[in-house]
Structure 1
Amino acid sequence: MTDAADLAALAGRHLDLVAAPFTLPRSRVLVFREGDGVRVHTSEYEKRLSECRVLDALVVTDAEGAVLPVVDVLPGRVRFGRFDSLDGREDVARSLSEERSDESKRGEVAGSGPSAAGGRVEELRSLNDRRGPDPEVTLTFDGPGALSLGGAADARVRLVRPDGSVEEHPLGPGIRLRVADDRTVAVESGEHAAALAASASVWEDWFATCPRVRDDLQEMTAFCWWVLGANIVELPSLGDARAIVPSKIGYVGLWQWDAYFIAVGLRHGDPELAREQLSIAFRFPQPDGQLPDVVHEEGVLATSDDLPESDRDTLRRAGSQIADPTAPVPLTKPPLAAWALRKVLEAQDDPEFARAQLARVIASQDWWFAGSDLDHDGMPEYGHPYSSGLDDSPVFDGPLPTAAPDLGAYLVRQDLEIAELLARYEPDADATRFRDRAVTTQELLLRMWDADRGRFVAYGGGRIGGGRIGGAGSGVDGSSHGEELDSDTVLGLLPLLTGALPAPIAETLREAVDDPTRFGLEWGLPTVAASDPDFSPERMWRGPIWVNTSMLVAEGLEASGWPERARELREQTVALVIHGGGPHEYFNPRTGLKAETATTAFGWSAALFIDLAVTLTG
């Protein structure tokens, strides 16, 4: 059985300080590689790394002034010193010279600072030839808001602050760098050994709960478990609650959908923390039952007038007419709350928690039908692209609101999940209305099937198609339907989740999953079919592979009677993450590598890799 130290070492193989920064659970401090040293930032809601600079460089030198570069990283410490061989130093110099700046949808990704210059090999060779014992210095955390350095007593530390000022400090017995809320740094003497032991202990406790999986999946599972631990933050508005954010690089908040996916993966090692994510997501319902899109350190994001200006600017650049709506549009995420609640309770039952949260889930589900059926035809719509979770999907190129087949499928599934949860935790409750509503919604969903196209169709402007499956014409109340949105997207595969499609329709969707011209690509399911004019292998939600949609389609295949095909898709998805080098936000479906603008060390990708690994091991 692999112990916690072994798992931490496996995760450490991926801590390059470029795609994965050095950080600590609950800390807002991030450390990235910068040349032979590191740079330091804070992690803040809706702010880019460039706005959160603490130190532009931290460089360690020996007694003679020679730089001691970063030689390796573990979750609990960064080590500066000399390499055992010149080859190792040349590899690092080469990798640094190949760094490039990337920018994610909401913030800069790791590696966005100045890249290291090439041509260091001769300098490294001369350093490697020095005589005498090799000095060693380690960097670790001394609590969430402070860094600690210690080791070789005659070493020195050079600090470059954002204002350009440079200062040097002798290491002595150790120093502490205390980061204040305003990002200023105070330099103090500190006991390094205690900080090193404490930081190691935090990570040892975390990795003790890491799921044990199949040997070929264990290393990436360990790294993904590190990602979840690294992304734990405290949100001041919630007291001591532990929120796992999608990424400390640009996504500092608890997004409703992310919380569901993260809880599903987290349940395998820490079911208590998994329940805590759902508790936060469900904690702030609006008076009508709607759950907010985001819970963040300044409150919640529940309507479009709560959007930060950076999001409004993005919408304006895309030509959106809803960047500044005259009336606020509710912002939420697709209804997977009962699905996530059921999965978390499967890992560790908690009837009291279940009953408390189930009431909020029911209120949220009722809100979709009362507050988001914007054309009153019986099928709720997305009033804003953000509420879909697939913000940039081409189905939102048409008029809003959007009636989409994925939403219909989620609503059917959620009503059935609610009925099952009530039967278990509230046996005296009458669940008939949820089962009946699921049947009605399924009928409306089937009206979105276009037999000629062989796929489900979304409708801009809301109102869905006519009264026969695959038909066109009038809506359910006799009026004309909305604008048919012709894009062939992964949303059209998600009705498989209901497990109740007519056999010919389900078989047609399975064939689409296998079709190499549409969704059956070498590395997995693109979010837009490769044959579609809207397909782009790099553009967010318009072609790249996302782990969550692949996982949901796999569940749909299993629910619809193809468990072996579901397993194949799960195997393909974990192979993608390993090939791509980690749980990135999304992947190029042609290369299987991180898409240019995707965030690295992304929470739900990490959590769902773990869930898939456990499923495939079982």
Structure 2
Amino acid sequence: MRAWEGAERFIDLLEVPLTDRGSRLLVYRTDDGDGGGLRVAGAVYERSPGKSTHLRRIAVLDGAGRPLEITAIGPEGIAFGASAASLALVGADSLSIGSSNTGGAVTVLLEPFGTGTDGQAVSEVDAAPIHWHGTEGTVASPDAHGAVRVLLQPGGSLLLRIGGPVAKAPEPGDHAALLAAAAGRWADWFTRLPAVRGTDLELARYAWWILASNIVQLDTHPGIDVVVPSKQGYVAAWQWDSYFISIGLRHGDGRLAADQIRLFFAEQSPDGGLPDVVHDHGTLSCVGDMPPGDLATMARIHGADSPMVTESGMPITKPPLAAWAARAVDAVAGTTLQSELRGGLDRLHEWWFARPAPDGLPGYEHVYSSGLDDSPLFDDGGPVFAPDLPSYLVVALDAMADLAEDAGDAAAAARHRARADKTAAQLVDRRFDPELGRFVARTPAGRRTTVTPFALMPLLTGRLPEPVKAALAAQLADPASLGTSFPLPTVGFSEPEFNPDRMWRGPVWLNVNWLVVQGLLRSGLEAEAAALAEQTVEMVVCSGGLHEYWNPLTGRRAAGATTGFGWSAALFIDLAVWLAHRDG
């Protein structure tokens, strides 16, 4: 049995394309119903696969010119016609197609996106040239429609490269070696899969495939493997995505997990702030860095005169989870990442505390800094002073105090712990509404009392008075609040803003559930934590995929959600590992 048995059934080439570690190519089925056609797109920052086509169609034809059906799909490649031919991805920009040594000749039909003025085949992405080289020597010129047919004798192969200089023609037998190398890489990766329960194993294998298949190297950071949220539209590193991804990776690859966090500290500003995004062209650190599409979205939602659109210097970042994530990686992987980043982590926390609200607790100036792009918490504009941010800072300070204690620095440990205690006490005193029995947010309009699970994040402090803790725990079971059929909705079920399919206004997100599980654990509510973790893992398994977010009423993929999503894969792994250890 192959190490990835079961994972391949999720790679349907429709919603989930074939890609490979480091590859910028995405291979989909065509929708023309011929059974064997493929489309090749690019993984490009701020560009959807539907608008980054390299090849409109690849098909492998038999001796009579009929397309061979796709008969097998796996992490290592695609087989056609009961292995009469196969396809494998090579490096960042190439793919190889080869015919079987024992079968008859096949023809590869190639239809590039277009042709340049010189007749060169080109991609939709920056008109990059497309080169192909076959073992049969000369390759036919494009026909009137730009299509090319390449004959492959038994054992022959064809290498295609998107962009760059003309590639050296492959030697006979190269394709078989490339296919074997791909299978070997994946077999090695799956030996790192952590132990989970049998009920979770198949989806855990798929999750483990997602984490490696979403690896790219950014132009700004060559030599560093970056696990992006998804090669389908999210081809960059987002700060809190990278932290959550590191949480899953730590169970099998500590170095890779640590690199996801190091990436952002390599871009830390002198004042201590970290960028929201690291991408192929630089960083997104302030409003002035936002892509035009994002600015248009902000203008539509918040108004063209909103400071979140007009103040080019307004910083954009993500919640401060770095110290916690680094310590979590170290605890499982045996790394020393938190100690390595200690100075940068201290500067990061000072940066956040330099942004107080009128009540002394920091807030989010820009909606993107919260990670909650469409949450009703920001319907009144910004800044917003929600209960989650101080909670994250308490966890971070506790992590720094633990590090200082490890190093024998009692003074630093006491300083961090005292600040954590003070912040947690202020959070209860200034943001908890005893009449409502929940934490509320402060906005430019005053208070926003919309029920969201972000009001549960003070559980993370581990310092809540018993009545407050009990009030928060009660919301988890209330069907009119957060106790939907598939918890946790990102807006309470009875709230007027609730929409089960709209981004942060109702759907279930794995990072939210994971954070609340951690909060329950830190508050001594292990039974409640286990129940939520179990519900979450069961929902994901039954939904048949690892999506960006889920409908809280059906437990299925929510409308508009990307699938094959990085932090969903990572946090599913982490929850499944924890449940396996707990059961064992």
TM-score (norm 2): 0.89
How is 1:105-504 mapped onto 2 (pairs within 5 angstroms)? Answer: 136-150=84-98, 151=100, 152-163=103-114, 165-172=146-153, 173-181=155-163, 191-320=174-303, 321-351=306-336, 353-370=337-354, 372-373=355-356, 375=357, 377-425=359-407, 427=409, 430-446=412-428, 447-461=430-444, 483-504=446-467
2:18 aligned partner: 22
Distance 2:215 2:230 in 1: 9
Where 2:577 maps in the other structure, the secondary structure is: helix
Where 1:169 maps in the other structure, the secondary structure is: strand
Where 1:586 maps in the other structure, the secondary structure is: coil
Where 1:430 maps in the other structure, the secondary structure is: helix
- Give the counterpart letter for 1:491 in structure 2: F
Distance 1:236 1:417 in 2: 33
How is 1:601-612 mapped onto 2 (pairs within 5 angstroms)? Answer: 601-612=564-575
CA contact (8 A) 1:423 1:431 kept: yes
Query: More displaced, 204-213 or 184-193?
Result: 184-193
Distance 2:448 2:225 in 1: 41
Residue 585 (structure 1) aligned with residue 581 (structure 2): no
CA contact (8 A) 2:23 2:90 kept: no
- Deviation for aligned residue 1:608: 0.3
Distance 2:353 2:199 in 1: 45
- Give the counterpart letter for 1:509 in structure 2: L
- Give the counterpart letter for 1:11 in structure 2: A
The C-alpha deviation readout for 1:45-91, integer Å capped at 9, x for no partner, is 11121331101111111101121121221100111116xxxxxxxxx
CA contact (8 A) 2:194 2:252 kept: yes
CA contact (8 A) 1:254 1:294 kept: yes
Which consecutive unaligned segments of at least 5 residues does structure 2 have?
115-144
CA contact (8 A) 1:334 1:388 kept: yes
- Deviation for aligned residue 1:363: 0.8
Query: More displaced, 156-165 or 67-76?
Result: 156-165
- Deviation for aligned residue 1:317: 2.3
Where 1:32 maps in the other structure, the secondary structure is: strand
Distance 2:377 2:162 in 1: 45
Residue 613 (structure 1) aligned with residue 570 (structure 2): no
- Give the counterpart letter for 1:604 in structure 2: W
- Deviation for aligned residue 1:251: 0.7
- Deviation for aligned residue 1:425: 3.4
CA contact (8 A) 1:175 1:187 kept: no
Query: More displaced, 396-405 or 137-146?
Result: 137-146
- Deviation for aligned residue 1:345: 0.5
1:108 aligned partner: none
CA contact (8 A) 1:54 1:185 kept: no
CA contact (8 A) 1:396 1:460 kept: yes
The C-alpha deviation readout for 1:455-503, integer Å capped at 9, x for no partner, is 1110113xxxxxxxxxxxxxxxxxxxx6111211111111111111111
1:473 aligned partner: none
- Give the counterpart letter for 1:247 in structure 2: S
Where 2:309 maps in the other structure, the secondary structure is: coil
Aligned residues: 539
Where 1:78 maps in the other structure, the secondary structure is: strand
The C-alpha deviation readout for 1:207-259, integer Å capped at 9, x for no partner, is 11111211111111000000000001011221200100000111111111011
- Deviation for aligned residue 1:185: 10
- Give the counterpart letter for 1:529 in structure 2: G
Q: For the structure 1 residues 62 and 189, does the alpha-carbon distance in structure 2 shift closer, same or farther, using more than 3 Å as the test?
A: farther
Where 2:209 maps in the other structure, the secondary structure is: helix
CA contact (8 A) 2:248 2:571 kept: yes
Distance 1:604 1:297 in 2: 20
CA contact (8 A) 1:253 1:295 kept: yes
- Give the counterpart letter for 1:160 in structure 2: E
- Deviation for aligned residue 1:341: 0.9
Q: What is the CA RMSD across the aligned residues, in angstroms? A: 1.9
- Deviation for aligned residue 1:143: 3.0
Distance 1:27 1:445 in 2: 46
Distance 1:185 1:616 in 2: 49
- Deviation for aligned residue 1:272: 1.3
- Deviation for aligned residue 1:304: 1.1
2:487 aligned partner: 524
Residue 32 (structure 1) aligned with residue 28 (structure 2): yes
Where 1:8 maps in the other structure, the secondary structure is: coil
- Deviation for aligned residue 1:179: 2.5
Distance 1:277 1:147 in 2: 27
CA contact (8 A) 1:148 1:174 kept: no
Q: For the structure 1 residues 67 and 572, does the alpha-carbon distance in structure 2 shift closer, same or farther, using more than 3 Å as the test?
A: same
Query: More displaced, 179-188 or 579-588?
Result: 179-188
Query: More displaced, 388-397 or 73-82?
Result: 73-82
CA contact (8 A) 1:586 1:595 kept: yes
2:124 aligned partner: none
- Deviation for aligned residue 1:376: 5.3
1:119 aligned partner: none
- Give the counterpart letter for 1:440 in structure 2: K
CA contact (8 A) 1:9 1:74 kept: no
- Deviation for aligned residue 1:175: 2.9
CA contact (8 A) 2:547 2:561 kept: yes
Distance 1:508 1:561 in 2: 14
CA contact (8 A) 2:501 2:551 kept: yes
CA contact (8 A) 2:329 2:335 kept: no
- Give the counterpart letter for 2:294 in structure 1: D
Distance 1:398 1:213 in 2: 44
Percent sequence identity is 41
Distance 1:183 1:512 in 2: 60
Where 1:584 maps in the other structure, the secondary structure is: coil
CA contact (8 A) 1:32 1:40 kept: yes
- Deviation for aligned residue 1:572: 0.6
1:515 aligned partner: 478
CA contact (8 A) 1:354 1:425 kept: no
Where 1:13 maps in the other structure, the secondary structure is: helix
Which consecutive unaligned segments of at least 5 residues does structure 1 have?
83-134, 462-481
- Deviation for aligned residue 1:420: 0.9
